[in-house]
Amino acid sequence: MSRLNRAEVLNNIPLTDREFILRLKLPPGSLSPMPGQFYLLRATNTFDPLLRRPFSAFRWSDEWVDFLISEKGKGTLVLKSLRPGDEIDLLGPAGNYFPPPSGDMKLLVVAGGIGIASVFSILREYNGDSVLFYGARSSDALLIRKDIEDFSGEVVLCTDDGSIGFKGSVVERLRLYINERTPEKAIVYACGPEAMITALKTYMKETGLRGYISLEERMACGVGACMGCVKNTSEGMKRVCIEGPVFPVEVL
Amino acid sequence: MSRLNRAEVLNNIPLTDREFILRLKLPPGSLSPMPGQFYLLRATNTFDPLLRRPFSAFRWSDEWVDFLISEKGKGTLVLKSLRPGDEIDLLGPAGNYFPPPSGDMKLLVVAGGIGIASVFSILREYNGDSVLFYGARSSDALLIRKDIEDFSGEVVLCTDDGSIGFKGSVVERLRLYINERTPEKAIVYACGPEAMITALKTYMKETGLRGYISLEERMACGVGACMGCVKNTSEGMKRVCIEGPVFPVEVL
Amino acid sequence: MNLTVKIGKMVMKNPVTTASGTFGYGQEYAEFVDLNCLGAVTVKGISREPRQGNTPPRIFETPCGMLNSIGLQNVGLEAFLKEKLPYLRGFDTNVIVNILGGTIKEYIELAEALDGRVDAIELNVSCPNVKKGGILFSSDEAIFRELIREVRKNVVNSTLIVKLSPSASSILSQARICEEEGADAISMINTIPAMAIDIESRRPRLSNIIGGLSGPAIRPIGVRMVWEVHKTVRIPIIGMGGIMTAGDALEYILAGATAVAIGTANFVDPTTTMKVLKGIEDYMRNHEIEDFSSLIGGLIWDREGR
Amino acid sequence: MNLTVKIGKMVMKNPVTTASGTFGYGQEYAEFVDLNCLGAVTVKGISREPRQGNTPPRIFETPCGMLNSIGLQNVGLEAFLKEKLPYLRGFDTNVIVNILGGTIKEYIELAEALDGRVDAIELNVSCPNVKKGGILFSSDEAIFRELIREVRKNVVNSTLIVKLSPSASSILSQARICEEEGADAISMINTIPAMAIDIESRRPRLSNIIGGLSGPAIRPIGVRMVWEVHKTVRIPIIGMGGIMTAGDALEYILAGATAVAIGTANFVDPTTTMKVLKGIEDYMRNHEIEDFSSLIGGLIWDREGR
Ligand SMILES: Cc1cc2nc3c(=O)[nH]c(=O)nc-3n(C[C@H](O)[C@H](O)[C@H](O)COP(=O)(O)OP(=O)(O)OC[C@H]3O[C@@H](n4cnc5c(N)ncnc54)[C@H](O)[C@@H]3O)c2cc1C
Ligand SMILES: Cc1cc2nc3c(=O)[nH]c(=O)nc-3n(C[C@H](O)[C@H](O)[C@H](O)COP(=O)(O)OP(=O)(O)OC[C@H]3O[C@@H](n4cnc5c(N)ncnc54)[C@H](O)[C@@H]3O)c2cc1C
Ligand SMILES: Cc1cc2nc3c(=O)[nH]c(=O)nc-3n(C[C@H](O)[C@H](O)[C@H](O)COP(=O)(O)O)c2cc1C
Ligand SMILES: Cc1cc2nc3c(=O)[nH]c(=O)nc-3n(C[C@H](O)[C@H](O)[C@H](O)COP(=O)(O)O)c2cc1C
Ligand code: FES
Ligand code: FES
């Protein structure tokens, strides 16, 4: 089964002014993604926008895959305007994934903003006692509230403005949580904006908390050829599209 | 009333694999076009395609204008994929127009291929005894057959392959017509592919038949500023977007 | 908020002008743009005698760009002074006249005739020198220097701008020559020589074979060149090349441009100049910038990288 | 239908190869492309020692193009010979190795080590010469000539290709030097130095500030340069720069390219090479062309215009 396909848009549902969920039909027999993996999407025949854009597999079945997308610029604008029946180019699944937890680990799933798209599937796909820490600017920037309600585990919401849940960052809240409960065997799975990642990294290194963080970098090829998407790690330059997007916190 | 507007797509109806009729809503109080005038259309936010594309006003009311368009490349492909409710940029009406006939003239309307889009409105807008000569490769390339049936005047169809009407070019057929009838006061209004225009020009100059031909040239600005769309005429370089697209045959 | 900039003697109420050849003689766009709101109107290149320009086809669209080989069709000096300039003088804006010649003498005559009657004279040096067998004025540094020196002598009351060509062998040494010879400002970039072929007919898309590439495709090249020139000379730069939005204009400004010119974008959206102006104002408001000039060359960088 | 072309000693079964740096070491695209079907695989630039490349961010998209400042990250000569080359040797295709160095000595060592083990060596001359204070090998004609002469002495069994940079002061005189010094072929164009700025942070989009512009935006510039070089020298040209379709490839070929390389297009559609090859075949069939080589430089033109 090739990772390069034409895929039909099944539906495209706006969540807010900027965010939407795009559902693509998977060709029969496609590989299923793992949590943290992504696809590279390209929706036009013109060359502006030119390059494919990477998006995490947010939710999937054997027949379709959902992407939770936030409009940023030209590429995401094109995706936002897709309608059922349109066809687009799909390359993936790509990249590595969040390694499944072993045994009786406590899963601390940490998401900031649109980072929820990358980690949400962990709650469904990986067994274990999971807590979701999900933060955003304010309550209306917290997406997929219905799905979150449906999730049977513990959910901790945080907002910068305190309009819902904890007032402050997810990393602060995680710290409180850990200080209170000191879970014995915990593992962090995280994705979010740069500021959150930086704070989380510092905190995890301080405390020796183990886990994995999904990173973003602009991509050209998405297949490891161009060396465009690298991050500097303690093990040298690593390609986010191949050796990533998920990295153990130790190397960051 | 500004000539530059956003216009809503009212409908977009395929005629063949390549040809379609795009109906745009005109902003209230818009200027109406005259036969032979055109609009410059731009349907995307990206820069590929970059420039506006010129299309003749094919049919119009106070509320809308129809364009009869043949898909050639990127620009027309975008137009073909428009759906009702989409909004596009519209500049026009632009250019000069076919001068209305005076008195009891016989109107010889000559169209080759998609050139029908530019001259068809003459049959409706200008009074006079009109004959339509309309040629194409073969019968299925003859468009808007229903509208043509509804036209009360004389219609002469021509096809290169003889699949309908006269087998041969419209210019040959026009020659036969004139030789048979020698109309006293005739005036030609024509639009079509380069080969047809060349043959027509030669024939008209030979016989002294008078009339007007609508020309095409690639355009950038459409407002007379860039000097990109010129044709070399006996009166010097003329801009198709301002001094044209309609030229009296004498200057060509 | 102060948007005023000075280019030589010319004071512009805001940093937005038009690129020569893309805005006609102003009149063509007056239907869409209040010319009073522009910092300056730069008109199509003027030659001593009227010119017919090249045989059509003269334009062709390429990815995010266009080729043109207009061949400098224009009404000529006399008609410009009689028919076009008075119209523009009816507006509260500066007039920049782009000039071109086949000999240094022609340039001098144009400069003399225009000096003091227009706010600035922009020297288009991408013309073939008929005396030197058709080589471009921009491709020989000695001739380039002589041209600027001689024209400078004859431009006393107007501002003298030299328009650099990105295909010059070294744009940096040309910029230095401009400064040394007393040009008031540099404008850049002109179009980049380029070509497209119709594979069906096997012929060039333009009858002139080669044309100039403009539009958003070339913007990253223009921004780079403005940045390099800004680091090299102290005279002001009018930046252009693919500016479609206020954001694009601000890239040029942060790279070192004192003013910006809108070219091909006028074709795409005739109101681009006004949108760019408004976008710059919005940006200044959002970033609480009082004085436009504090943005010029405001790129933050260091040698180690960003 | 005969698609065979010869570049120096190297016989290519068809004129389609990949542009260095855009196809990894071949392996990355083997999932999408049958490497046996390519005329040649051109790999990422190799240096004597492994290189880490520049600090990220290294790429940025621009209108119809992209900037890159990879900074030549690569596995180094030894790992290439041990890990990458054997894999490629498993396919029935030519291997072209792009090389780069900071001194002429480094280039020579690379050439010596690769000569005879790969089908062609492509000299990337857009590198800073560390001995000469970091000026580019491509920006000084004397050093450029010396580099080619010295490397040529050491490339006896493989084909020697010199890759020209569009930012060279004169690409035509560089092409002449290549021919005079016995290079077997020229490849062109490399990326064009360019820049983009984040107006919110006021910082360059790339940590290296300047990057190379590639993609469809630059194609008309590349086609023009290939045409000019084709009129100037007799050695074959491998044309590249923004080729996205067979039609684009045919523009380069009609302008004078003997073979074509697909670069940025691999990122947009990993199967571009195969589509280009098929499109060229279709074109030849439709136009009843038996021998591909009759298309090379087949542009129809005359001095009067088209
Ligand atoms: C592995 C991976 C997985 C991703 N998963 C998702 C996902 O599931 N959902 C989702 O919405 N996005 C995701 N992203 C980010 C997404 O790829 C970018 O937002 C998208 O490519 C932007 O394209 P654009 O053309 O709309 O914006 P551009 O036109 O490229 O950029 C517009 C503006 O937005 C800024 N910008 C661009 N990308 C980002 C970014 N990532 N963060 C902040 N600002 C940015 C730019 O600096 C620029 O100013 C992922 C990225 C990676 C690398
Ligand atoms: C005043 C005027 C009125 C016009 N009215 C109409 C109209 O009513 N309906 C209509 O369908 N078209 C009309 N045209 C032609 C139309 O503007 C072009 O077909 C269109 O701009 C092509 O754009 P594109 O992006 O699809 O093609 P491009 O991508 O620009 O070109 C694709 C290919 O088609 C070829 N091509 C482009 N334009 C033409 C052309 N005019 N004739 C033949 N081949 C061409 C090109 O050489 C190229 O190979 C008119 C043109 C003018 C100047
Ligand atoms: C149709 C056209 C005509 C032009 N004519 C001139 C000219 O007469 N003189 C000149 O100096 N530059 C001329 N230029 C170059 C522009 O002034 C400008 O430098 C160039 O197009 C880059 O800007 P842009 O990408 O915003 O168009 C012309 C450009 C175009 C597209
Ligand atoms: C990401 C990237 C990396 C490149 N690396 C190299 C390189 O190592 N050596 C080289 O000679 N050219 C390199 N190039 C230039 C390409 O080989 C090619 O000359 C250029 O991109 C123009 O072709 P294109 O527009 O089709 O990409 C690189 C280009 C890109 C986009
Ligand atoms: S995007 Fe090209 S190596 Fe990762
Ligand atoms: S299209 Fe610009 S002058 Fe006609």
Residue where the block lists tokens 């020009």: B201
* Interval D180-198 mean pLDDT: 97
Atom of ligand 1 nearest to the CA of A193: 42
pLDDT of residue D306: 43
Listed in order, strand segments (DSSP E) in C47-152 are 59-62, 65-68, 94-99, 120-124
User: What is the enclosing helix (H) or strand (E) of D163?
Assistant: strand D159-163
Q: Nearest CA of chain A to the CA of C45: how many Å?
A: 31
Q: Nearest CA of chain A to the CA of B77: how many Å?
A: 10
User: Is the residue at D108 inside a domain?
Assistant: yes
Question: With 60 as the cut, is the pLDDT of residue D15 above it?
Answer: yes
Query: Which residues from A are below 8 Å from D267, CB to CB?
Result: 51-52, 220-222, 225-226
Token couple for D174: 């560089």
Cβ distance of C305 and D250 shorter than 8 Å: no
pLDDT of residue C135: 79
Relative to the alpha carbon of D267, which ligand is closest? 5
Q: How far apart are CA B249 and CA B231, in angstroms?
A: 13
Tally Cβ neighbours within 10 Å of residue B100.
15
Cβ distance of A46 and B45 shorter than 8 Å: no
User: Is the residue at D67 inside a domain?
Assistant: no
Q: How far apart are CA C73 and CA B160, in angstroms?
A: 40
Could you write out the three-class secondary structure of A152-182? Answer: CCEEEEEECCCCCCEECCHHHHHHHHHHHHC
User: Is the residue at D79 inside a domain?
Assistant: yes
Cβ distance of C61 and B218 shorter than 8 Å: yes
pLDDT of residue A128: 80
Question: With 70 as the cut, is the pLDDT of residue C276 above it?
Answer: yes
* Interval A50-60 mean pLDDT: 97
Cβ distance of D216 and A89 shorter than 8 Å: no
pLDDT of residue C306: 43
Relative to the alpha carbon of C166, which ligand is closest? 3
Higher-confidence residue of C126 and A220: namely: A220
User: Is the residue at C236 inside a domain?
Assistant: yes
pLDDT of residue B79: 97
- Give the residue whose CA is nearest to atom 5 of ligand 2: B55
Q: How far apart are CA D26 and CA C141, in angstroms?
A: 45
pLDDT of residue A1: 65
* Interval D183-206 mean pLDDT: 97
Q: Answer yes or no: are the C-beta atoms of C266 and C209 closer than 8 Å.
A: no
Distance B220 CA to ligand 6 centre (A): 6
Percentage of residues in chain C having pLDDT higher than 90: 91
* Interval A75-97 mean pLDDT: 96
User: Is the residue at C164 inside a domain?
Assistant: yes
Chain B residue with CA closest to D64: the answer is B48
Q: Rounded mean pLDDT of chain A? A: 94
State the chains in contact with A (3 or more Cβ–Cβ pairs under 8 Å): B, C, D
Question: With 70 as the cut, is the pLDDT of residue C247 above it?
Answer: yes
Lowest mean pLDDT of A4-8, A21-25, A101-105, C90-94, name the range: A101-105
User: Is the residue at D221 inside a domain?
Assistant: yes
Atom of ligand 4 nearest to the CA of D122: 11
Question: With 80 as the cut, is the pLDDT of residue D119 above it?
Answer: yes
- Tell me the best of D191, D206, D267 to mutate to test the pocket of ligand 4, counting ligand atoms within 8 Å of each CB and taking the most: D191
Token couple for D231: 């009129």
pLDDT of residue C83: 94
pLDDT of residue A145: 86
Distance B34 CA to ligand 2 centre (A): 20
Question: With 90 as the cut, is the pLDDT of residue C77 above it?
Answer: yes
Atom of ligand 2 nearest to the CA of B193: 42
| pLDDT, tens digit (0-9, with 9 covering 90-100), for B187-208 | 999 999 999 999 999 999 999 9
Q: Which of D64, D218, D306 to mutate to test the interface with B (most CBs of B within 10 A)?
A: D64
Distance D244 CA to ligand 4 centre (A): 14
Distance A50 CA to ligand 5 centre (A): 15
Listed in order, strand segments (DSSP E) in chain A are 4-14, 19-25, 38-42, 53-56, 59-60, 64-70, 87-94, 106-112, 129-136, 154-159, 166-167, 186-191, 211-214, 230-233, 236-239, 246-248
Question: With 90 as the cut, is the pLDDT of residue A107 above it?
Answer: yes
Atom of ligand 1 nearest to the CA of A58: 8
CB of C42 closer than 6 A to ligand 3? no
pLDDT of residue C181: 97
pLDDT of residue D100: 94
Atom of ligand 6 nearest to the CA of C267: 2
pLDDT of residue B153: 86
Q: Nearest CA of chain D to the CA of A246: how many Å?
A: 17
Q: Answer yes or no: are the C-beta atoms of C38 and C273 closer than 8 Å.
A: yes
Distance D101 CA to ligand 5 centre (A): 24
Token couple for A148: 């979150």
Cβ distance of B237 and C53 shorter than 8 Å: yes
- The domain that contains D227 carries what CATH number? 3.20.20.70
CB of A133 closer than 6 A to ligand 1? no
Atom of ligand 5 nearest to the CA of D24: 3
Q: Nearest CA of chain D to the CA of C229: how many Å?
A: 13
Higher-confidence residue of C58 and B2: namely: C58
pLDDT band, residue B184 (cuts 50/70/90): confident
pLDDT of residue A116: 96
| pLDDT, tens digit (0-9, with 9 covering 90-100), for B2-51 | 899 999 999 999 999 999 999 999 998 888 999 999 999 999 889 999 99
Catalytic residues of C: 127
Side by side, which strands form the sheet with C120-124? C16-18, C259-262, C237-239, C185-188, C159-163, C120-124, C94-99, C40-46
Token couple for D136: 């580019």
From D37, D64, D127, D178, active-site residue? D127
Distance D10 CA to ligand 6 centre (A): 49
User: Is the residue at D91 inside a domain?
Assistant: yes
Token couple for B226: 């860039």
pLDDT band, residue B233 (cuts 50/70/90): very high
- Tell me the best of D20, D62, D77 to mutate to test the pocket of ligand 4, counting ligand atoms within 8 Å of each CB and taking the most: D20
D127 included as an active-site residue? yes
Q: Which of B48, B51, B232 to mutate to test the interface with D (most CBs of D within 10 A)?
A: B48
| pLDDT, tens digit (0-9, with 9 covering 90-100), for A188-207 | 999 999 999 999 999 999 99
Question: With 50 as the cut, is the pLDDT of residue C189 above it?
Answer: yes
| pLDDT, tens digit (0-9, with 9 covering 90-100), for C14-30 | 999 999 999 999 999 99
CB of D214 closer than 6 A to ligand 4? yes
Q: Which of B42, B45, B50, B51 to mutate to test the interface with C (most CBs of C within 10 A)?
A: B50
Question: With 50 as the cut, is the pLDDT of residue D305 above it?
Answer: no
Higher-confidence residue of C214 and D136: namely: C214
| pLDDT, tens digit (0-9, with 9 covering 90-100), for B132-181 | 999 999 988 888 888 888 888 889 999 999 899 899 999 999 999 998 88
Relative to the alpha carbon of A218, which ligand is closest? 1
pLDDT of residue C303: 62
* Interval C42-63 mean pLDDT: 95
Chain C residue with CA closest to D171: the answer is C169
Range of the domain at D259: 5-54+72-193+215-295
Higher-confidence residue of C106 and D168: namely: C106
Distance D46 CA to ligand 5 centre (A): 18
Q: Nearest CA of chain D to the CA of A119: how many Å?
A: 24
Question: With 60 as the cut, is the pLDDT of residue C305 above it?
Answer: no
Question: With 90 as the cut, is the pLDDT of residue C134 above it?
Answer: no
CB of B76 closer than 6 A to ligand 2? yes
| pLDDT, tens digit (0-9, with 9 covering 90-100), for A113-125 | 999 999 999 999 9
Q: Nearest CA of chain A to the CA of C62: how many Å?
A: 11
* Interval D81-109 mean pLDDT: 96
Tally Cβ neighbours within 10 Å of residue A146.
7
Q: How far apart are CA A251 and CA A236, in angstroms?
A: 9
Q: How many domains does chain D have?
A: 1
| Phi, then psi, of D172 in degrees rounded to 5 | -70, -40
pTM for this entry? 0.97
Q: What is the ipTM of this complex?
A: 0.96
pLDDT band, residue B1 (cuts 50/70/90): low
* Alpha-carbon C134 to chain mean position: 22
pLDDT of residue B116: 96
Listed in order, strand segments (DSSP E) in B149-240 are 154-159, 166-167, 186-191, 211-214, 230-233, 236-239
Q: Which of A12, A47, A48 to mutate to test the interface with B (most CBs of B within 10 A)?
A: A48
Token couple for D283: 């074109």
Q: Rounded mean pLDDT of chain D? A: 95
Which residues of C lie inside 8 Å of B (Cβ-Cβ)? 21-24, 28-29, 31-32, 44, 52-53, 55-61, 63-66, 68, 70, 73, 215-216, 244, 264, 266-271
Cβ distance of D255 and C197 shorter than 8 Å: yes
CB of D14 closer than 6 A to ligand 4? no
Question: With 70 as the cut, is the pLDDT of residue D303 above it?
Answer: no
Chain D residue with CA closest to A4: the answer is D32
User: Is the residue at D277 inside a domain?
Assistant: yes
Query: Which residues from A are below 8 Å from B44, CB to CB?
Result: 46
pLDDT of residue D266: 98
Q: How far apart are CA C276 and CA C14, in angstroms?
A: 11
Q: How far apart are CA D19 and CA D70, in angstroms?
A: 15
pLDDT of residue D36: 98
Distance B48 CA to ligand 2 centre (A): 16
Question: How deeply is D35 buried, as exposed, middle or buried, from its count of CB atoms within 10 A (0-12, 13-18, 19+)?
Answer: buried
| pLDDT, tens digit (0-9, with 9 covering 90-100), for D58-78 | 999 999 999 999 988 999 999
Which residues of B lie inside 8 Å of C (Cβ-Cβ)? 2-4, 42, 47-52, 89, 91, 217-232, 236-237
CB of B20 closer than 6 A to ligand 2? no
| pLDDT, tens digit (0-9, with 9 covering 90-100), for B70-105 | 999 999 999 999 999 999 999 999 999 999 998 788
